[in-house]
């Protein structure tokens, strides 16, 4: 029951069953004590005094140590301290109110669970402690000192999304985090690299700040562009290009909505077309588009006059991100139809409506009465508009009947509208994961415009080069992309040329930022566990300590 039987002697034990507490009377057995300043052994005792320490609980009983320790005279006449209290380093720290093993238990709880969750678990264990005490114990821990890594992974993380960002450093050989930097500036990374010489390989994303910081802090290190970020940047370029070809995406979506499908049992089914917007919604959309077109022309007019993006945002009173998004495309990018969100009052009854419609009941009033008996509280007009869409799917005009003729089965579409971002990732998806419907969509998309066909072919080739690490094909791809591609894909290729050494190393070397992304997910978990209110010092302690 004693923390250290070599230094302590149990004199008495008192059990209070009412208070559920065990009190141990303990005294020190050291024959000599070392002065904490000059480390001279002392043999003369000055006096005694008592300390009360909380210890680990025993079953349902709290344990308290009534510790009797001594004060000693220092034998060194030149020492500034004449009288000192003996130290018990394996029992408790000086001036502490709890034993060392209890403090270690609380530190482990604080590191694993944080404040409130740690306090609740400690109470279940019979340890009365506040969340602030747990945080103080965690903050007092020294950060682990690791050897300088040979292969360093660098990426950014959000302390507060879109507001405050930091930098995470990970040893890719040991797959362990090393440090959290307070920002993502080049100077901060360069200072850390200057203080930790010996880094030979640095993996990073396409950020210019990290490239400059690595070049300044470790000029001899090999910079490696992360392969995932290369494909992500290509997807962003494709999305910007598809944004400028909105009619092509709209044509693909309309063709897919009109294309019948055949089930494995041979049944022909047709999806229900999307609802047409009301005249008021169309007018609002046209007004919104005219405002966006005017804003796009205004931004580019200021750009041609030499204004910076920040100055344009300040002048027009809009967000800087909006300005840079418009500056990415010299031509105005039309909006494509996005997946419609929201809840319709018909959703719980659509299965019944489709079942009755496919069985031959095509009268909207009868359908309305059917779902009314099931609890529908909406209007008849909503059911009538839905019936119009069902007729359009089967190619019927209003009130047209085709007795004796087999009509295709109508079903709700199981897919959303193809958006620029969705089209970009559809192009970059691995070939073995694409189904025939995806291939058909890509074929229709490439048939809309020659520029789209060229961009899709280039993107597929680059994805294959990166995934299979065919570095010998990179130069020919860059030459083809910078001369034949248009728009955003060409600018992406020119950016690769500017960062050629890192891109070449990324395609050649096996290192990537995969472990870094995994640690960022763990960092997000810790930050959310503390409801985003942890400062950088506490977050670093919980993230970097290996428990």
Task: Identify the DSSP state of 7.
Answer: T
Decide: helix, strand or coil at residue 320: helix
User: For residue 47, what are the domain limits?
Assistant: 8-98
Rg (CA), the chain: 35
CA–CA separation, 111 and 493 (whole Å): 45
In terms of DSSP bridges, do strands 21-28 and 61-73 run parallel, antiparallel, or are they unpaired? parallel
- The pLDDT, as a whole number, for residue 510 is 93
- The pLDDT, as a whole number, for residue 402 is 65
Give the H/E segment covering residue 204.
Answer: strand 201-204
CA atoms within 13 A on the CB side of 354: 19
**Looking at the DSSP assignment, which residues form a beta bridge with residue 262?**
268
CA-to-CA dists, residue 49 to 10, 28, 463, angstroms: 16, 11, 74
Give this prediction's pTM.
0.77
Q: Does any domain span residue 2?
A: no
* Alpha helical stretches, state H, 305-379: 309-316, 320-327, 350-358, 364-373
Same domain, 271 and 404: yes
- Asked which of 140, 163, 194 is the last residue of a domain, the reply is 140
Q: Does any domain span residue 123?
A: yes
Same domain, 117 and 183: no
Residue 23 · residue 66 · CB < 8 Å: yes
Same domain, 182 and 193: yes
- Asked which of 411, 440, 462 is the last residue of a domain, the reply is 411
CB-based burial label for 525 (10 Å; 0-12, 13-18, 19+): exposed
pLDDT one digit per residue (tens) for the chain, 547 residues: 888 888 899 999 999 999 999 999 999 998 899 999 999 999 999 999 899 999 999 988 999 999 999 999 999 989 999 999 999 999 999 989 999 999 999 999 999 998 889 999 998 888 889 999 999 999 998 888 878 999 999 999 998 888 899 999 999 999 999 999 999 999 999 999 999 999 999 999 999 999 999 999 999 999 999 999 999 999 999 998 888 888 888 888 877 777 777 766 667 787 777 777 777 877 888 888 899 889 999 999 999 999 998 999 999 999 888 898 888 878 787 765 544 545 788 888 988 998 888 888 888 899 999 999 999 998 999 989 888 888 888 777 776 666 656 777 888 876 677 888 889 999 999 988 888 878 888 888 888 888 889 999 999 999 999 999 999 999 999 999 998 877 889 999 999 999 999 999 999 999 999 999 999 999 999 988 888 778 899 999 999 987 6
Same domain, 360 and 421: no
- Give the dihedral of Cα atoms 74, 79, 85, 89; nearest 10 deg: -110
Of the candidates 529, 538, 536, 535, which has an alpha carbon nearest to the alpha carbon of residue 113?
A: 529
Same domain, 181 and 113: no
Same domain, 272 and 395: yes
- The pLDDT, as a whole number, for residue 108 is 93
- The pLDDT, as a whole number, for residue 269 is 80
In terms of DSSP bridges, do strands 21-28 and 8-16 run parallel, antiparallel, or are they unpaired? antiparallel
Residue 361, φ and ψ in degrees, nearest 5: -85, 105
Q: Does any domain span residue 258?
A: no
- In the chain, the N- to C-terminal Cα span, in Å, equals 25
**Looking at the DSSP assignment, which residues form a beta bridge with residue 22?**
15, 63
Same domain, 379 and 268: yes
CB-based burial label for 64 (10 Å; 0-12, 13-18, 19+): middle
Of the candidates 261, 256, 272, 255, which has an alpha carbon nearest to the alpha carbon of residue 413?
A: 272
Q: Does any domain span residue 3?
A: no
What's the CATH code of the domain at 222? Answer: 3.30.420.10
CB-based burial label for 254 (10 Å; 0-12, 13-18, 19+): middle
Task: Identify the DSSP state of 98.
Answer: B
Decide: helix, strand or coil at residue 14: strand
CA–CA separation, 24 and 215 (whole Å): 62
Q: Does any domain span residue 186?
A: yes
Same domain, 308 and 397: yes
Same domain, 170 and 293: no
- Asked which of 98, 132, 162 is the last residue of a domain, the reply is 98
Overall number of domains in the chain? 5
Q: Does any domain span residue 440?
A: yes
CA–CA separation, 417 and 338 (whole Å): 6
Angle CA(194)–CA(195)–CA(197) in degrees, nearest 5?
65
Same domain, 237 and 272: no
Same domain, 86 and 183: no
Same domain, 367 and 321: yes
Task: Give the length of the chain.
Answer: 547
Q: Does any domain span residue 145?
A: no
* Alpha helical stretches, state H, 144-278: 186-195, 208-217, 227-243, 246-258
Q: Does any domain span residue 256?
A: no
């Amino acid at each position: 029951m004693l923390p250290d039987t070599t230094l302590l002697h149990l004199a008495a034990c008192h059990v209070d069953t009412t208070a559920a507490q065990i009190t141990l009377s303990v005294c020190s057995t050291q024959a000599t004590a070392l002065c904490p300043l000059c480390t001279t052994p002392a043999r003369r005792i000055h006096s005694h005094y008592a300390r009360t320490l909380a210890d680990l609980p025993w079953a349902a009983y709290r344990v308290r140590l009534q510790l009797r320790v001594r004060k000693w005279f220092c034998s060194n006449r030149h020492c500034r301290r004449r009288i000192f209290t003996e130290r018990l380093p394996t029992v408790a720290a000086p001036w502490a109110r709890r034993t060392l093993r209890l403090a270690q238990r609380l530190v482990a709880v604080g590191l694993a669970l944080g404040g409130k969750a740690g306090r609740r678990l400690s109470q279940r264990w019979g340890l009365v402690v506040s969340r602030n005490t747990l945080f103080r114990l965690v903050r007092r821990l020294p950060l682990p000192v690791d050897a300088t890594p040979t292969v360093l992974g660098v990426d950014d993380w959000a302390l507060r999304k879109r507001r405050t960002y930091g930098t995470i450093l990970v040893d890719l050989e040991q797959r362990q985090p090393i440090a959290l930097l307070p920002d993502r500036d080049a100077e901060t990374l360069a200072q850390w690299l200057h203080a930790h010489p010996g880094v030979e390989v640095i993996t990073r994303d396409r950020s210019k700040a990290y490239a400059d910081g690595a070049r300044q802090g470790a000029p001899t290190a090999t910079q490696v562009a992360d392969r995932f970020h290369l494909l992500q940047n290509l997807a962003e370029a494709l999305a910007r290009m598809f944004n400028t070809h909105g009619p092509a995406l709209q044509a693909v979506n309309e063709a897919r909505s009109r294309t019948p499908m055949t089930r494995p049992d041979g049944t022909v089914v047709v999806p229900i077309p999307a609802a047409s917007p009301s005249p008021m919604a169309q007018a609002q959309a046209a007004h919104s588009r005219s405002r966006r077109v005017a804003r796009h022309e205004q931004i580019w007019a200021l750009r041609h006059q030499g204004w910076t993006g920040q100055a344009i945002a300040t002048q027009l009173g809009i967000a800087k991100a909006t300005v840079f998004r418009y500056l990415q495309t010299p031509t105005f990018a039309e909006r494509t139809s996005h997946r419609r969100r929201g809840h319709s009052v018909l959703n719980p009854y659509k299965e019944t409506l489709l079942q009755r419609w496919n069985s031959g009941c095509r009268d909207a009033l009868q359908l309305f009465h059917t779902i009314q008996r099931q609890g529908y509280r909406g209007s008849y007009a909503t059911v009538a508009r839905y019936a119009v869409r069902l007729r359009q799917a089967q190619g019927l005009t209003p009130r047209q009947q085709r007795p004796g003729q087999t009509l295709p089965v109508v079903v709700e579409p199981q897919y959303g509208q193809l958006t620029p971002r969705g089209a970009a990732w559809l192009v970059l998806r691995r070939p073995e994961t694409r189904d025939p419907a995806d291939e058909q969509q890509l074929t229709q998309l490439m048939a809309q415009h020659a520029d789209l066909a060229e961009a899709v072919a280039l993107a597929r080739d680059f994805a294959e080069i990166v995934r299979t690490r065919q570095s010998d094909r990179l130069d020919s791809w860059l030459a083809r992309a910078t001369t034949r591609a248009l728009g955003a894909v060409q600018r992406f290729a020119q950016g690769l040329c500017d960062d050629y050494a890192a891109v070449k190393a990324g395609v050649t070397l096996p290192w990537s930022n995969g472990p870094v992304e995994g640690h960022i997910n763990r960092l997000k978990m810790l930050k959310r566990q503390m409801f985003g209110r942890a400062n950088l010092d506490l977050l670093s302690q919980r993230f970097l300590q290996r428990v």
